[in-house]
Amino acid sequence: MKIDRLLGILMLLINQEKLTAKQLAEHFDVSIRTIQRDIDTLTLAGIPLYADVGVNGGYQLMDHYKLDKNFLNDNEATILIGFLKSLEKAAPYSEVKSMFNKFSSLNKESNQPEKMVFHLNPGLDSAEFESHLNCLSKGRDEQLKVSITYYNIDFKETTRIICPYTLVMFGSNWYVYAYCDLRDDFRMFKLHRIATCEILHESFELKTLPSVLPWEDQIDTRREQTEIVLEIDRKLQGKLPEYFGPSSCVLMEDKIIVTLNFPVDEWVFSLLMSLVPYIKIIKPDALRVEFLDRLKKSIELNNYDIQMS
């Protein structure tokens, strides 16, 4: 869209100070003539641009139009830019790129070490993720319904018509918060469970949002908690801080007792399996029985060659 390109040109000039028409044309994959028309449009809109001619020529913004560098101090700008840079790589679409270009202008080259480093990874096929993200972003921005093919927790395929409201990164997972026509209510959809995503030429009107949004509250605090007591071999002592807080652990001579309150779900079973064979479930009994049943089924599935020999 032209408006996106005009904003992009402005942000690049704020950030890089001087660019030629050829450089801008290559960046936006348009002709030099198109860039020249864009520059004329920006000038007519009152943006103080001027052009230098010659070998070192190019388009430039008047100094007084630059963003005030007191808006953020160096440390604040460094942290924000680092986050936006990582977010732009993980979720590459125009809004994030525009913010990154804008705030990068506040913090030029620095020899100082980075204050914080962010590595955000969608954990998905990047091309598919970007395609779905752009589709959902367009639906959100233009208030257009989106048709998705979605796999639920039982890997059952369903087709949903949704009205996208918000893109959410919750923990390490990406979601779209949307109004679902099928459920007639708001739902969170995991992006990695979306197989196909298509914009529909049907607009929707915004509905009143719930008083408490999913990302404003810890989801697990609204579920039934179970006290879980585990006995873990001291061999895993070095790894335990990756899973449990120090206050949950009691170190003994040859073992560690871990006590936690958490809903018994697939996440818990995944955690327990990752600690095999150094874990013993003290309580609750129902958790231990289900855990043993899963272990037996796994042994049976993986002993087929032994049984046949």
Closest by Cα among 25, 46, 50 to 35: 25
- Cα gap 139→66, rounded to integer Å: 33
Q: What is the predicted pLDDT for the residue at 93?
A: 60
- Cα gap 227→308, rounded to integer Å: 42
Q: What is the predicted pLDDT for the residue at 60?
A: 83
Q: What is the predicted pLDDT for the residue at 291?
A: 95
Return the ∠ at Cα 62 (arms to 58 and 63), rounded to 5°: 120
Q: What is the predicted pLDDT for the residue at 95?
A: 64
Q: What is the predicted pLDDT for the residue at 302?
A: 86
Q: What is the predicted pLDDT for the residue at 150?
A: 94
Which domains are seen in the chain, by residue range? 2-65 (1.10.10.10), 126-216 (2.30.30), 224-304 (3.30.70)
Q: What is the predicted pLDDT for the residue at 225?
A: 86
- Cα gap 175→191, rounded to integer Å: 5
Give pLDDT tens digits along the chain (309 positions): 466 677 778 777 776 668 888 888 888 888 888 888 888 888 877 778 877 776 677 888 776 555 554 555 666 666 666 677 766 666 656 666 666 666 665 555 555 666 666 666 655 557 788 889 889 988 998 899 999 999 887 778 999 999 999 888 776 678 899 999 999 999 999 988 899 999 998 999 999 998 888 877 654 455 688 999 999 999 888 888 878 888 899 998 889 999 998 888 888 898 899 899 999 999 999 999 999 999 999 988 888 766 555
Angle between helix 21-28 and 2-16 (nearest 10): 130
Q: What is the predicted pLDDT for the residue at 77?
A: 64
Distances (CA, A) of 17 to 1, 49, 99, 105, 271: 23, 11, 17, 9, 51
- The alpha carbon dihedral of 155, 156, 161, 162 has a sign of negative
- The alpha carbon dihedral of 144, 150, 152, 156 has a sign of positive
Q: What is the predicted pLDDT for the residue at 159?
A: 95
